[in-house]
Structure 1
């Protein structure tokens, strides 16, 4: 049986995967490629998550692609609008035809002898997986497990007679009108759900173990709306993007240099939104800003429903579930018809597929990130991830552009294999993500480390990465290039 051989395989048709396809078509137009998507629709996160109020937690001028202006008047956009934006990008650029839906990658094995990846792919309901080969692998699968989110063990959960939901698996057409709702959590999902459900529910309680920094941001962008009257859309987008990148970086760096000052400002702003009588312990974290992500709420919607009494916040530990709600350590019981476990994600690299080099399983936890894109000792492969302190797509776009530069460099020099190496093992390691968030701490033994110096250090700095990835030297001495003798496999050379 013949095995199809392509130049590049992109895994995942979400925000990153569609963007990667655009950059590949622009910068490497001769390359034959396909996008393998395990689900039946594109959009990734923005198609999977369907809970009430689902929206971006970054402004769309920076979450949008660097090549396609965001023209919607909403700067903080809802999930369906973002999904349509991704679909438009795919349709406008001929990317839709490159996507193979219901193609779930089970494994990928690199052969040094052939300088080729061989993937085992499950197609739909077919019994046997098929093999597809490629020279370059671009993994745009995100960083979390799609099948289920993280749900802690709750004592007595089986006793609860109401409805228990994790937002990642939201039931279609679920009606919560007139019901008592308890949302467990205080992160981005929780602060989105509470105001979105407050108008229809009888009451919504946000039950948090510890507070999170929450800041109100305008839902629209009045400056861009004004400039659209005089300037082309592309100019407006570039100006807004530049301004917002500068603001994001400035806020993050200020938080690192003067955390006490930033903390005072954030708490003062929250107090102004909530009113003088509100108990601020519910919004006064014990950690400094950006030790964990800061949550943004458009037009202060969370603060509004709390101030109006449609929702409330309880800061307490859970003792267990009862038939009619949640019992707290204090002895108080929260009545609930619906309990929503907005308790986070399960981190997962490579979309859950197993990865091997010459038949030996590759353990990402024993590796180290190279430029925040490739992994030490893993040939011809990139893992596209976004920023934790800024919009995801800022880094995803740069990563895809860089990988295209790398492919073109290899073609120009006649090299078929490229592997990041730290031969001397002289680089000191540190956690890959410098955040104390629970989902990151739970995955400490699953994800790679970063180094203490370039190119192994993850700087989380867009301007630094822009200079390094778009204009920096590709052959930097840490990438080991080689050209193994070609051993031709049986292949189908038809272009995709």
Structure 2
């Protein structure tokens, strides 16, 4: 390990949407800062490379899941996984980012050394080799769930002799032609898989313990496609993006203030798709709309599969897995050759990296979020945890832009440490808030490991993009909370860094 010069100004962990977005922002806004992206997998894309189940697609529109700097040019705004990977590949190649990515590099641990103003990072390559690198900043774009383990609800498959699959680990060669398939779950993954498998399977049954609120919309955005014909690409994209952000915000707030009205509107759409006399019980959860994330049904694909008889929805509790199928507590038997456990993800914080400060472990569950981007009393570290009520990339964009502003301010001042300072006295006065006001299973299961959240800004992970965007863009970086300082004999000065960059 080099003892004098820091290897990288910024180490970006993860080559998915968050990491690629940060790299693109840095290319444009902090060209004098060097960076590397370390990615544990052998390809970029994160979620969109990992998940390979039938029909894998976005569950929000690509005009908001896409980046603010790169228009989405496809006709379909609800995009499949391969189209999203193409979008990310184009960004990486057009901006010459690929050469900065080190694939097959998994970050194991990172220790902050104050005397050097840098993180000492331990990585493991796909060949099993251990490496050590240093970086002045860590930017964690490692997502929100555990890549190694899915959530295990503890099913005992007993006498079941068929195939059991979790969507996170979908086999490439699965042949389900003419098979009976039971998909356990009612979230976005199940709602995607059921209609996608129904074309070849004999029958696909979505077995849900609790219904989910669903809404349908066309996969193509007619207004977006019209605007692209008459306006420059970037202008059309900005207008469509603004339109969709506004509608999402209005819809979410309406659900919170008038949940009954929102529920009636969602049911009205379902009746339009399935018929006025359809049974709404499978689509009527015991909670209000947006208490959990709504499930998108593009082009009515799930409802078409239900109407065709190739798919159905059963609500009930599992009693046992038997030979040839699943037995419910009401003694109903559902034939199954294949069981898909779409039962959710396992939440993870900071990519499960063992963070420490001078060798002492950093437990992020004891630290407060700072502007939904950094953490109290943790220097030179930023993270992306996207919105639950809007597209992930909206937060990724504003966090990237903000960190670029912080980097430029630090460089201008000739400092190398930036830390949100929360004194013990100030912390004692903070009124804490629920980190997530959502009842989703994976959210509730993961709350214990999540960082702390305050009622008041800036010690907060907000769920209001419009106000967050304004604050992150307009509020001064030097807000009296974020401390800028210089430490360490081994850290390069501003002039030296600029000379090295040139």
Calculate the TM-score normalised by the size of structure 1. 0.96
Structure 1 residues 173 and 208, CA gap change in structure 2 (3 angstroms): same
Partner of 2:224: 224
Retained in 2: the 8 A contact 1:61–1:241? yes
2:14 aligns with 12
Task: State the Cα deviation string for residues 384-441 of structure 1 (Å, max 9, x = none).
Answer: 1211111111110110000010111112222221211221211122232221100011
**How does 1:83-162 map onto structure 2 within 5 Å?**
83-127=85-129, 129-155=130-156, 157-162=157-162
Structure 2 distance, partners of 1:167, 1:88, is: 27
Shift of 1:190: 0.3
Aligned-pair distance for 1:368?
1.3
**What is the distance in 2 between the residues matched to 1:488 and 1:158?**
60
Indicate if the aligned counterparts of 1:369 and 1:432 stay in contact, CA closer than 8 A.
no
* Contact 2:114–2:488 under 8 Å retained in 1: no
Pair 1:451-2:454 in alignment: yes
Residue 51 of structure 2 corresponds to residue 49 of structure 1:
yes
Distance 2:491 2:202 in 1: 66
| Consecutive unaligned residues in structure 2, runs of 5 or more | none
Q: Contact 1:248 / 1:390 at 8 angstroms: preserved in 2? A: yes
**Are the aligned partners of 2:215 and 2:295 in contact in 1 as well (CA < 8 Å)?**
yes
1:461 paired residue number: 464
The aligned residue for residue 325 of structure 1 is 325
Q: Is the CA contact (8 Å cut-off) linking 1:139 and 1:383 kept in structure 2?
A: yes
Q: Given the alignment, which residue of 466, 479, 483 partners 1:480?
A: 483
SS in 2 for 1:443: helix
Residue pair 2:33, 2:501 contacting (<8 A) in 1 also? no
Farther off after superposition, 17-26 or 217-226? 217-226
Alignment of 1:211-290 (within 5 A): 211-290=211-290
| Equivalent residue runs for 1:354-433 within 5 Å | 354-423=354-423, 424-425=426-427, 426-433=429-436
SS, match of residue 480 in structure 2: coil
Determine whether 1:295 maps to 2:304.
Answer: no
Deviations 1:235-257 (A, max 9, x none): 11111111001000010011111
Q: Spell out, residue by residue over 1:358-406, the C-alpha distance to the aligned partner (whole angstroms, 9 max, x if none).
A: 1110111111111111111211000112111111111101100000101
> Where does residue 34 of structure 1 map in the other structure?
36
Asked whether the 8 Å contact 1:16–1:396 carries over to 2, the reply is: yes
Gaps of 5+ in 1: none
Q: Take 2:431 and 2:360, find their aligned partners in 1: how far apart are those partners?
A: 25
- Shift of residue 485 of structure 1? 3.3
* Distance in 2 separating the partners of 1:301 and 1:205: 15
Q: Secondary structure of 2:230's match?
A: coil
Pairwise CA distance, 1:458: 2.7
**Aligned pairs, number:** 492
Q: Which secondary structure does the structure 2 equivalent of 1:293 belong to?
A: coil
2:443 is matched with 440
CA distance in 1, matches of 2:147, 2:500: 32
The Cα of 1:494 is off from its aligned counterpart by 8.3
Tell me if the contact between 1:377 and 1:420 (Cα under 8 Å) persists in the aligned partners.
yes
After the TM superposition, list the runs of 4 or more consecutive aligned residues in structure 1 that deviate by more than 6 angstroms: 492-496
TM-score, normalised relative to structure 2 = 0.95
* CA distance in structure 2 between the partners assigned to 1:364 and 1:459 by the alignment: 17
Measured in 2, the distance between the counterparts of 1:265 and 1:429 equals 34
SS at match of 1:292: coil
Say which SS state the counterpart of residue 260 (structure 1) adopts.
helix
Q: Which residue of 2 aligns with 1:192?
A: 192
Q: Contact between 1:151 and 1:166, CA under 8 Å: does it hold in 2?
A: no
What's the secondary structure of 1:475's corresponding residue? coil
1:60 is aligned to 2:62: yes
CA change 1:366–1:211 in 2 (3 A) is same
Give, in whole Å, the separation in 1 of the partners of 2:42 and 2:434.
35
| Partner secondary structure for residue 448 of structure 2 | coil
CA distance in 2, matches of 1:89, 1:455: 32
Q: CA RMSD in A?
A: 1.7
Structure 1 stretch displaced more, 229-238 or 131-140: 229-238
- 1:481 Cα offset (Å): 2.4
Q: Residues 28-86 of structure 1: CA distance to partner in whole angstroms, max 9, x if unpaired?
A: 10111100000100010000001000000010111111111100000100010001100
Cα distance in 1 for residues equivalent to 2:421 and 2:455: 15
Contact 1:149/1:344 (8 A) holds in 2: yes
CA distance, structure 1, for counterparts of residue 197 and residue 457 of structure 2: 46
